[in-house]
Amino acid sequence: MGRIRHGIVATTAALAVTGSVAVAVLGTPETAQAATTTTAARTVQVQTQIGVVLWYNIEKGYGFIRYRANGQQKDIFVHFTQIMGRPFPYLRAGEMVMFAVAHGPRGDVAAAVRIIASP
């Protein structure tokens, strides 16, 4: 069961890491479905985060999300390949999203991004 943070339940996510690609599966540990990967090196439990889209360039397919972690405000990179729940993956500035923090080759990136509220 997740913790309640600002009225939103933060659940855990299973993060399957394959080389430099990370795939997150959202849900509680009891209901999360296994990630489909060909060579899963390891599985790590991570905490999901709640943030707001700062900006997103539909033509280039990336943008940034602002969130709070450990009492500090942070910005994190998001790529269109990690947006779930829309036939054509995109975000709008001001949308509230839930995501897992993954480690990419250039730093932290948002993984398994789901829109939870639109402005």
Q: Where are the domains of the chain?
A: 3-117
Question: What does CATH list as the number for 3-117?
Answer: 2.40.50.140
Output the pLDDT for position 95: 97
Q: Which two tokens stand for residue 100?
A: 């897992």
Q: What is the pLDDT of residue 42?
A: 56
Q: Are 47 and 69 in contact (CB under 8 A)?
A: no
Token output for 81: 């390949």
Beta strands in the chain (DSSP E): 3-5, 8-10, 12-18, 21-26, 42-57, 62-69, 72-79, 83-84, 96-104, 107-117
For residue 86, the model assigns a pLDDT of 86
Q: Decide if 22 contacts 62 (C-beta within 8 A).
A: no
Whether 97 and 26 have beta carbons less than 8 Å apart is answered as: no
> What does the pLDDT read at residue 104?
87
pLDDT score of 4 = 40
Place of tokens 């709070």: 68
pLDDT for res 32 = 40
Per-residue pLDDT of the chain (119 residues; tens, 9 = 90+): 444 444 333 444 444 443 334 444 444 443 343 333 334 455 555 678 999 999 999 999 999 999 999 999 999 999 999 999 888 899 999 999 999 999 989 999 999 999 999 98
Residue given tokens 């994190």 in the structure block: 76
